[in-house]
Structure 1
């Protein structure tokens, strides 16, 4: 319902007549006859919520009294009806020519909205600050709802903005571009409340408007499956405002894949056993993130049966333990399993390509299922679904629907290793160390680099989660600089073990790379980069093979310690900055070995982890060391 629907007397008369008929029909069975307000008797009898039209003389008299010409949509409205009953659900009488009056801040609300103005105040704040004193008040009888028509907020066609506010609503006043836009919104509010009322009383609220909106919802569903999600989202938003039962559940699937979580509840789907495996994990993943250890309450899944709640409790336990896995049927289901295997070793871009290629073969669980939104809850695959990829997913035709396949989004991971020299906005990778091992699968790294045969891979976790869960074991000697590393594939034939922000400091006097012993039957590259923080920045790179270091270099600002035949491409001029020297070495290493590290998996994904053997030697005779342990407890 747009402003253009109320530009003329005929358009107003059509809307208001339809509104009145639908309102009268909705009263049958909703309110017992003896409980109806007396003010409703006449509009029920006449099936007209309005009054006789205001004559041109009455309208001009009002304009003379106000000292303003009325805005077009309100003026035309008055020519159809001199006032209105039941504008939405909470304004029982709207002013005509006799009742309209200047508000003159009678409510005293200018003190609170928008508050004190300052240099950071927006133009909207300035308009709102003056609105309370200059606006025309249109509410006559209401549930404490103010409806104010503002002559200081005027558009190019002469329309005055309408502001509506109620103390029980609590938010900022709602602004409508014109009186026509306000009335269109109140018509939609009437419909939405009538739907709720019919659900509570078990009556049926059906008319030409509801049927047209339901047809639009079905067309939007097919649009969404065909990749035309923006058009679908617009139609569904309109249907949601009319309270159509299916619209919110469908629209929430689109919103969630676009990265939106606020007020996403999958209305009507979360309590349906058919859709529980798809949408409930998404809700519970957000519940676990925001409410930590809180259990589910009866309000979390309204309308759910005991069986659905029991299933939800099980899903929540698996989400919190990190064992939840999203599943699907058929070709797409097999792609999900393949993509998860790729993602758990850091190949997140390849995992997304696998999912994207299979999207046309995805099939819905039932009629109100638009897309594999459950991917968002999977601990390994969820981080792949960025808002950009969510748009790509939604724009890809699915379920056998025709449509144009969108161009692929840009991969998240940059090539090579040089991105490590760029730092990290979250200060996560300002210092790091890693090992690259040739010809060894990631799953075999614990046996090669770990401390003892008992070292195994931990379940996939973010690096922050892994550090919180797996702290240094009591068996490690206090001098040992072990590293909790994330592992994965680093390119054809290479695996990595990566540790961000090492706990220890690089000290070449005691430094021993775990890769040296591990290189007995392979080639291992060791890199350690340490930012300054008041000390000279350090960048160490060494390559070991057959149990011996072939070459290495340690760069400290303007000094270099070169050992063995280091390729010239690895080294920078002596006057180069520490960042440039690090970047050149990383670029050369990636080019020579054709290796890369997955930035997205390391910074926001989940990878297997394990703890390496020490990166330093034990203290020698006469070498003291100090161990400090801090234990935090409750007072």
Structure 2
């Protein structure tokens, strides 16, 4: 940071020399540029204390520390960034007095809930001092009303052609450092690799060290160094920084820079962007995709087209080489049956053995794009991945991120009104693989598991049914493992009413040679009395069941004490509080050793199948209704 006279002198001398070395006569404005190049100096003679004091008296303010110190080194400055040709010294500094005519607009935007920053900005235009003397329609304004604890005034840079609010800098010092960075970025764009000096060499060395630090797990220090290098326009820094950003949960931040055009990295990075632009199972935005790859070689564009096609068809899968690749396949098998935490544990254990595709590859970014493994990579887990040493580097092992799934079943009673899982119903079957559930509880002999779907896709498919019957109550159920020895079929039962007279527990049909249980919960609401049902079957026969309503409990069979509804649902306790439901779910989890995966049901992808009806057909003389929906095209 440039604070003292010596620091300003060193900083400004370095800037001047870099500017002179990068000078292009075709971009020279006038003879003053030629003079500055010959003298290798963008600044002017120092301002005497008397000149500074006279300017302060004229303006009615003591100038802020960093600008005052700057004047003691150079009384003004040429080419502050790319759009300010001359920056004021003691003579050119003046009151702005809303010359940009923006005060009325910003004051009109103020309201009762306006933030303090908005209020400051609205008043800034009238009270600011104007620093720009010559510029490309750019105002540089220093605000005596926006003062930090260190006595520094905020500096605002406004250009109408940018169609954006003014850029705020905490001090004149911060503004000048940002303009030095802007100068570097413009030179990189204009001169490319030919733009070399002590600053670029030091920054490039810091980028290489940041790469090693990132692989050692010290991602925060690496990101800070890379952010500075990006601000100075160092091309390599962008791709490295963006990898850290994505795994930190900053989706949509950056596009990996030049790495996308490198055939080594494109197969890993393009799917991450496709997952955001296209979305799993949704049509792709081909125009955006074409624009993204406009400068890439033919081989990279062909790779991109293939990736886009696989996303559109829903067939993309992330793969990797070596031990980590084998862990990916093992984790995918666990994730597709709902065991998100076990899947992540497998990936986490294999991370140290992950190997990059090239020197600028920092982490297995492709995980984020995988339809099954991507949902496992929460923000916390992404940071855990970044903090894990890998690719042969050594470092401290991070504290593991917390598991996503709570134990047991009781978490179902914590969902509130409007939650996607309320009401709900589920079937649990012991000693049966999830893939066998369609044969035991499917609607017919042709029932099969779908490809894994998100809860949103499942809901859309459920609502796409063209025929609805008041008695045919088949469930489109998500399937997975409910513990070491159990499988589940789960469905949010929105719109389904529990009718005890017609209810047929699917546990009976699913239980030959084993045990099965069914829970149906339809919580009470202000205009809905609510109901909770449990039934347990073994070897094709119902063993016991109970149904709890607001004022009644009905029972069947020899109910064990652990599941006695009179104890679990004490008289007088409101059903809407769901305390009895919670006790029952806790008893089931303890008694049968079962659980349900919250993360997979809400944010993951699971196989589905259509169950047999949970209601019997109507008896002779019983009324029922069948509704059929047709989709007609408008003319």
TM-score computed with the length of structure 2 as normaliser: 0.95
**1:119-151 deviations in whole A, cap 9, x for unaligned?**
211221221121111010001111211111111
1:307 CA drift (Å): 2.0
* 1-structure distance, mates of 2:199, 2:466: 70
- How big is each residue's C-alpha offset from its partner over 1:431-463, in whole Å with a ceiling of 9 and x where there is no partner? 011100011100111111112221111000112
Q: Conserved in 1, the CA contact under 8 Å of 2:52 and 2:71?
A: yes
Show the 5 A alignment for 1:579-618. 579-618=578-617
Deviates more, 1:419-428 or 1:350-359: 419-428
Q: 1:436–1:490: 8 Å Cα contact kept in structure 2?
A: yes
Aligned to 2:206: 216
Q: How far has the Cα of 1:495 moved from its partner?
A: 0.3
Alignment-derived partner of residue 341 in structure 2: 349
Equivalent-residue separation in structure 1 for 2:489 and 2:30 (angstroms): 74
Deviation at 1:504, TM superposition (A): 2.4
- Taking the aligned partners of 1:568 and 1:264, their CA distance within structure 2 comes to 60
Deviations 1:359-413 (A, max 9, x none): 1101111000111111000000000000011111111111111101011111110
RMSD: 1.9
Aligned partners of 2:242 and 2:255 also within 8 Å: yes
Q: 1:48 aligns with which of 38, 41, 44?
A: 41
Q: SS of the counterpart of 2:109?
A: coil
| 2-structure distance, mates of 1:51, 1:472 | 74
> Which sits farther off after the overlay, 19-28 or 265-274?
19-28
Aligned partner (choices 26, 34, 58) of residue 32 of structure 1: 26
Secondary structure of 2:204's counterpart equals helix
Distance 2:86 2:436 in 1: 76
- The reply on whether 1:156 has 2:149 as its aligned counterpart is yes
Partner SS, residue 622 of structure 1: coil
Contact 2:203 2:229 in 1 (8 A): yes
Q: Is the 8 A contact 2:469 2:627 kept in 1?
A: no
Alignment partner of 1:499 is 2:499: no
* Alpha-carbon distance between aligned partners in 1 of 2:140 and 2:629, rounded to the nearest angstrom: 61
Query: Which secondary structure does the structure 2 equivalent of 1:316 belong to?
Result: helix
Query: In 2, Cα distance between the equivalents of 1:565 and 1:307?
Result: 70
Contact 1:433 1:529 in 2 (8 A): yes
Is the counterpart of residue 574 in structure 1 residue 571 in structure 2?
yes
- Shift of residue 219, structure 1, vs aligned partner: 0.8
Query: Following the alignment from structure 1 to structure 2, what is the Cα–Cα distance between the partners of residues 56 and 170?
Result: 39
* CA distance, structure 2, for counterparts of residue 519 and residue 472 of structure 1: 30
Q: What is the TM-score when the length of structure 1 is the normalising length?
A: 0.95
SS in 2 for 1:118: coil
Match of 1:433 among 425, 431, 455: 425
Alignment pair present for 1:140 and 2:130: no
- Write the mapping of 1:108-507 to structure 2, written as runs, cut at 5 A: 108-113=101-106, 115-199=108-192, 204-289=194-279, 292-297=283-288, 298-424=290-416, 427-469=419-461, 479-507=471-499
What's the CA shift for 1:536? 1.3
Give the distance between the partners of 1:556 and 1:569, measured in 2 at CA. Answer: 19
1:508–1:426 Cα change, 3 Å: closer
Contact 2:323 2:354 in 1 (8 A): yes
Assess if the C-alpha contact under 8 Å between 1:296 and 1:313 holds in 2.
no
Counterpart Cα distance in 2 of 1:363 and 1:227: 14
Does the CA-based 8 Å contact 2:47-2:71 persist in structure 1? yes
Distance in 2 between residues matched to 1:72 and 1:207, nearest whole Å: 30
Q: CA deviation digits over 1:170-197, x for unaligned, max 9?
A: 2222211111111011111111111111
Tell me, what secondary structure is at the counterpart of 1:246?
helix
Distance 1:61 1:565 in 2: 99
**SS of match in other structure, 1:130:** helix
**Is 1:15 aligned with 2:15?**
no
CA contact (8 A) 1:428 1:501 kept: no
Q: State the Cα distance separating 1:293 from its structure 2 match.
A: 3.7
Deviates more, 1:604-613 or 1:73-82: 73-82
Q: In 2, distance between residues paired with 1:39 and 1:286?
A: 50
Describe the shift of the 1:478–1:299 C-alpha distance in structure 2 as closer, same or farther (beyond 3 A). same
